Amino acid sequence: MKVEEAKLTSKGQITIPREVRRILGVHTGDRLLFEQDGNGIRVRPVKRKSAFSKYRAIGNPGIGSGRKSITAWLRALRGE
């Protein structure tokens, strides 16, 4: 197990080591969640909305989102 260290500033801030940021998949502006369990504190990224969700259904009038809607549309298109 690799160990990483960070220094706490007087304002309560830390710089998360690059390797830890890479493993967590976080970038500038992302939020982290600190959870306490019986073994200590767990840090994980806060799930965010998909970057592509705002584009869902653009240019596809009449086709709902989701697998079922798309499958129904394809079957209707094929005449099934």
Residues 22-75: pLDDT tens digits? Answer: 999 999 999 999 999 999 999 999 987 777 777 776 777 777 778 888 888 889
pLDDT reported for residue 54: 74
Domain for residue 53, yes or no?
A: no
Cβ–Cβ under 8 Å, residues 26 and 45: yes
> Could you tell me if residue 2 is inside a domain?
yes
- Asked whether residue 73 is assigned to any structural domain, the reply reads no
Is residue 56 in a domain? no
pLDDT at 48: 75
Q: Backbone phi, then psi, for 43, in 5-degree steps?
A: -110, 130
Q: Residue 77 falls within a domain, yes or no?
A: no
pLDDT at position 49? 75
Q: What is the CATH number of the domain that holds 2?
A: 2.10.260.10
Instruction: Round to whole Å and give the CA distance between 74 and 80.
Output: 9
Please report, to the nearest 10 degrees, the dihedral formed by the alpha carbons of residues 41, 3, 13, 37 taken in order. Answer: 0
Angle CA 75–79–80, to nearest 5: 55
Domain that holds residue 27: 1-47
Q: How many domains does the structure of the chain reveal?
A: 1
Residue 17 is assigned to a structural domain of this protein:
yes
